[in-house]
Amino acid sequence: MSKKMLFSMAILLAVGSGACKKSGSGKNDTQDDNAAKVYAHILELGFPKSEIVNKPDVFVVEGDIVFPKNMRVPSEKVRPEQYYTGSLVSATKVVNIRLKVDASMTSMQSEINSAISQWNSVANCKIHWTVVTGTSYDVLIVNSNLGNGICGQGTFPSGGNAGGTIWINKNYIAGNSFAQRARTICHEMGHNVSLRHTNWAARGESGATAVPGVGGTDASSLMNGGQCGSGATVLSTKDKQAAAVLYPL
């Protein structure tokens, strides 16, 4: 075979090799771009970088607050005058937040019902949860092994929707009393409608400002963090006031 023919074949092989390589679809780039926006949004909410735990599909802060990397980042800026995440469930959706109970959580249906009853009974407040069994829902509550020390996790609202998932470490809280198990669920539901930990300062968490007219510390708050198995089991007066201010009738 002549040198000319060998050279021609080498060129063809090189071209063919290049043609066989998959061109970038841009999907991963898009996912990375949105994750970067979510990360920036978390920083804007006031969480320091040191508190942000980077997991494959989500960012986790303060142990039990989850930000999916594919979430829709609010276009509006955080309103600093309120003590919450900066994003609320829309007025049309907060009146009927459809909760789907995964099969892994049906053994705690009574605890879930108890938590729902607490939120639905807050006076002068639009928040209303309902349990659904079909394929259409707003929030899924599911059992998840979150490791020791983490009793549950919730997601903050985005795009006018309630946070889409609640994870409960069912085996870890199984030994707690009924009231404490219901408390864990009720607490995480609070995150899904935008409430943050009431005792953020005492826990050394990121800065936050109080809901107007509902300032100060509240040892009785069900939204206090780090109290799984020992915290308040009913929404405090200030918890209810804050919910009513954020979602007034």
Which range, 25-39, 81-95, 184-198, 201-215, is most confident? 184-198
Average pLDDT, rounded, for the chain: 83
239 within 8 A of 224, measured Cβ to Cβ: no
Q: Is the pLDDT score of 17 beyond 50? A: no
pLDDT in tens, 100-130: 999 999 999 999 999 999 999 999 999 999 9
When pLDDT is averaged across residues 208-218 and rounded to a whole number, the result is: 75
Q: Does 49 or 1 have the greater pLDDT score?
A: 49
Checking 128-134 for CB contacts under 8 A at 24+ apart, the result is: 128/94, 128/95, 128/96, 128/97, 129/97, 129/99, 129/189, 130/96, 130/97, 130/98, 130/99, 131/98, 131/99, 131/100, 131/101, 132/98, 132/99, 132/100, 133/100, 133/101
Q: Does 18 or 179 have the greater pLDDT score?
A: 179
Residue 63: pLDDT band with limits 50, 70, 90: confident
- What is the C-alpha to C-alpha distance for residues 54 and 97, in angstroms, rounded to an integer? 28
pLDDT in tens, 18-59: 333 333 445 566 778 899 999 998 887 777 788 899 999 999
Residue 28 zone, left/alpha/beta (φ > 0; ψ -120 to 50; rest): alpha
Strand partners of residue 99: 131, 139
Sequence ranges of the domains in the chain: 31-68, 83-246
- What is the C-alpha to C-alpha distance for residues 107 and 98, in angstroms, rounded to an integer? 19
Query: Which superfamily does CATH assign the domain made up of 83-246 to?
Result: Collagenase (Catalytic Domain) (3.40.390.10)
